[in-house]
Amino acid sequence: MARPGPSSRGPQLHVWRYLGVLVASFVALYTTVAFAGPGSAWLKPKLGLDLQGGAQVILTPKTEAGKNATADQLSTAVEILRQRVNGAGVSEAEVFTEGQQIVVQVPGGNRDSIQSVTRAAQLQFRRVVEEQQVVQQTPVTPQPTSTAQVGGASPSASPTATANKRPVTSGLAAAASASPSPAASGTPAPAPTPAPTASASPDPDALPPGFVRSGEVYTPQAFAALDCSDERARQGGAPDVPTKEIVACDKDGRFKYHLAVAKVVGRDIKGANVGTDQLGSEIQVNLQFKGGGQDRWTKLTEEAFGQPAPTNQVAITLDGVVYSAPVIQSVINGDAQITGSFTQKEGRDLANVLKYGALPLTFESGDAEVISASLGDDQLRSGLLAGGIGLVVVVIYSLLYYRALGFVTITSLLVSAGLVYGSICVLGKTMGFALSLAGIAGFIVAVGITADSFVVYFERLKDEIKEGRTPRSAVDIAWKRAFRTIMNADTVSLLAAVLLYFFSVGGVRGFAFTLGLSTLLDIAVVVLFTRPLISLMSRYRWFARSRWTGFYGPDGGDPFTGGPRQARTTVPQEA
Amino acid sequence: MGLIHRLYHGDTQFPLVRRKKVFYVVSIVLVTIALGSIVFRGFNLGVEFKGGAIFTVPAPKDVSVEDTRHFVEDLGVAEATVQTLQSSSGDTKVRIETPPLSAEERDKVLSSLGERFDVRPNEIDSREVGASWGEQVTRKALQGLVAFLLAVILFISLRFEPKMAASAIVALIHDLILAAGIYSITQFVVTPSTIIALLTVLGFSLYDTVVVFDRVAENTKGLEKTNRHTYSEAAELAVNQTFMRSINTSLIALLPVSGLLFVGALLLGAGTLKDLALALFVGLGSGAYSSLFLATPLLADLKMREPRFKALEARVLERRGKGGAAPVRLSQRSTHAVPPAQGGAEEPVDAPEDEVPVPAATATQVRRPSPPPRRKKGGRPGRPSGKRRR
């Protein structure tokens, strides 16, 4: 290693430590990408609606005939839905009104998840008045041909059932798990059409008159008529008025309840998150209450505690369906939990929905549709092409201007691109970060801001060398000053990112996130890569040749190196 | 070659602060034009802001989004967004979103779509839609903006000084008005992408100004002790020192954006790329311009009103008067190349980089080149010009 001149300034920079940290970050990032979530194509970022399409569902408010939902109700509903689908603001999901309807569009096209966000989410806590077990046949054979047999056999299997008014057609449960079909109306169909997946969602008008849904107001007749084995009864959506007693089914159709008036409702909830129970075996959703809600919840458990079964149970209902009805074993002063054999994802969806509150209206949710990208491939390709052309020009320019140091610029930009890409992939999997064309353009602009850090540093270096420093000492002093400049400027960018993120919603939020991300990565790259690389290069003799670096010494020739060649000058290299 | 050479070697001495009136006038004229257009012509707002019409047409499975979009736009519809919808039963539909249409336009679109997709017009679902970019999004974005501006003013005031904050904000408003004005002038459609681009401009403009001000702050530290240069001169030096950096940064940022603009506007005709790129192009350019040509002169003006810098100016002028020399223009090589007006070595050479003390021995070097009053053409390129006299 050729060391130009006796100009070492204190301890050398531990170049390899910095580069080591960088390599470690890269490995960590891309390992996370590989293991994060269920990603089939693990190195593919999630794209936004405009580039990839997604799923959409149209919600029609259920109002009394002839009445329209008010603009206020609609905009509140839009706001809540937007938070549900795009809470972090980075998923590029869209919620907007079309006349009286609300359209929800989610990139990536998972029909199940879009259905789950559109539920009304009326959460209520009610004491149990009556409870009945419903005969439940495990649907072993989901073939339609077996439906009739099982359905016919079920009355004989009913001794365990208490007052089960209607024969259970458990074939329904099998069919219904895909999509409730109007054909499966409770009467054993001779040859059900094997097309449950193709059917539209149940038309509410198609329900037979007198059909009782879970969540309707209690009357002895309604309680008797409620058939919890019928999937349609457990769809939710009945107007479960908090001040009335209701009849309800549990989520799986195994129990039927008569419930008292609601004492605690969704408005009393402060927060919700998903976790597991004490044994760690079952997923549960934890609910935290607001002050008043906490009092009401504690009082409710006080009332139920020690009562004879089943009135010692408190049912937690969501949109009129009982999720869990735990026996109250003590007066509870803290949080409540909802269990109900959730998957992790269901639990997360539920917590997410509860957190942002109930919708002000009940909606009829249409069938989820798959929507295509609104921008053709040509836009994406042209965008990338344009960015690519721009980058090539940047590369040529930096090679011309900074000569050998241009390679530092280019490799730094490549490192930066690698970090950005990895982060996008990870964030796409962990928090649904989706990249729209606008986002891509944002990152292309970020190239400029990233490159600026190098430019500030190099220009500073040039100045210092021109003022007579040796390249080696200039590398350090220029770094100190350039870094201060970079930090001052990046602080402004970060301020913009953080404040816009916390104040805004929708696309603006996504922008703020992108800005913050690229600013942080900019600092990481310049500290962990550019500076160590320059420091390393400055130890070689060629670094002191202006034809390589474009740096000129005070006399317009090669930089001053403290060697004999420059003995005639008297500028000391040490400050 | 001369200018490029000086640029490359960082020897520029552009009179950016001294000729500030020219730049003020230029900025005022541009801002007036932009504001005038915004007030009198207004903006061409996109569907997202003012609503529009939506047509949903049954279509064959293999319908092309691109072709449909071109087809609709050829009917005279300014900007259409086309998506295909696929229901779970396998029906395919095309959803076309257009700006608000008159009754005739609507009928024309309906009948043309009917012919193209071979369906009766009454099978086409058409309806009016509201703005998807609701008031709430705008309101919250504005709240964020105000909070951000307050935070920035606070940050610059504390880290640097309040007058820098004021100048930076003026430059920022200048950039935003110009970038917004170009949309009004060209009547390009304003979409959410445009808003995002304007926010990018906002960030970049402040970023750029802070970089320049950082250098100004460095150069003016301890300025009063030397009685050598006024605040304006030191600020001008800072602008010249960061000039090449500004050009480089702006080029590196603008080249990819101009690629986007070129491809977006000329090749594709419409869409997100164009919406974004124009605001970015104008805004980034204006951001670079304003931090050098507007924010810094403005700052110098504000600072020169302070009694202490007025006093400094008087002392500097007096000093120069006594020496009988014309005011010395600060050279970029101040540390080594600006000899005292009298050529005396009795004072330490003024060093804006106060961390770089130059020992008396420097004098020998300083005197050595014995610079001519003016740079001689044909002299050795890259040779320090030393001081320049007017």
Q: What is the ipTM of this complex?
A: 0.71
Using an 8 Å CB-CB cutoff, list chain A residues near B274: none
Band of residue A38 on the pLDDT scale cut at 50, 70, 90: low
Band of residue A239 on the pLDDT scale cut at 50, 70, 90: low
Listed range (A276-290, A416-430, B39-53) with the worst mean pLDDT? A276-290
Q: Could you say which of A53, A444, A467 has the minimum Cβ distance to residue B335? A: A467
Collapsing DSSP to helix, strand or coil, B186 comes out as helix
Q: At what angle do helices A506-525 and A404-430 cross, to 10 degrees?
A: 140
Helix H or strand E segment including A284: strand A283-289
pLDDT at B170 over 90: yes
pLDDT in the model for residue A178: 35
Collapsing DSSP to helix, strand or coil, A338 comes out as strand
Band of residue B157 on the pLDDT scale cut at 50, 70, 90: very high
Listed range (A253-257, A554-558, B72-76) with the worst mean pLDDT? A554-558
Q: Whole-angstrom distance between the N-terminal and C-terminal Cα of chain B?
A: 22
pLDDT at B115 over 50: yes
Band of residue A368 on the pLDDT scale cut at 50, 70, 90: confident
Count of pairs with CB atoms under 8 A, one residue in A, one in B? 319
pLDDT at B176 over 80: yes
Q: Decide: pTM greater than 0.95.
A: no
pLDDT in the model for residue A111: 64
pLDDT in the model for residue B379: 41
Top residue of B62, B83, B159 to mutate, by most chain A CBs within 10 Å, is B83
CB contact under 8 A, B83 and A373: yes
Pair A320, A246: CB distance under 8 Å: yes
Chain A residue nearest residue B135, CA to CA: A75
What would the pLDDT profile of B36-63 be if each residue is shown by its tens digit?
999 999 888 877 787 788 888 888 877 8
- Tell me the average pLDDT across A17-37: 84
- Looking at per-residue confidence, does B380 or A259 come out higher? A259
- Tell me the average pLDDT across A198-224: 66
CA distance B3 to B19: 18
Radius of gyration of chain A (CA): 33
CA distance B86 to chain A (A): 5
* Residue A321 token pair: 């369906």
- Looking at per-residue confidence, does B323 or A566 come out higher? B323
pLDDT in the model for residue B84: 81
Domains of chain A: 15-46+375-566 (1.20.1640.10), 54-116 (3.30.70.3400), 122-182+207-357 (3.30.1360.200)
CB contact under 8 A, A441 and B273: yes
Using an 8 Å CB-CB cutoff, list chain A residues near B336: 467-468, 554, 571
Using an 8 Å CB-CB cutoff, list chain A residues near B195: 507-508
Band of residue B26 on the pLDDT scale cut at 50, 70, 90: very high
CA distance B164 to B296: 8
CA distance A355 to A75: 18
Mean pLDDT, chain B, rounded, equals 76
Chain A residue nearest residue B62, CA to CA: A372
Domains of chain B: 2-45+134-307 (1.20.1640.10), 52-129 (3.30.70.2040)
CA distance A421 to chain B (A): 18
- Tell me the average pLDDT across B73-89: 78
- Tell me the average pLDDT across A476-503: 87
What would the pLDDT profile of B130-156 be if each residue is shown by its tens digit?
676 667 677 877 888 888 889 989 999
In the stretch 77-106 of chain A, residues with CB closer than 8 A to chain B read 78-79, 94, 96-99
Band of residue A568 on the pLDDT scale cut at 50, 70, 90: very low
What would the pLDDT profile of A446-481 be if each residue is shown by its tens digit?
777 778 788 888 888 888 888 888 888 888 899 998
CA distance A219 to A229: 19
CA distance B147 to B266: 38
> pLDDT exceeding 90 applies to what percent of chain A?
3
pLDDT in the model for residue A467: 82
CA distance B205 to B151: 15
CA distance A448 to chain B (A): 4
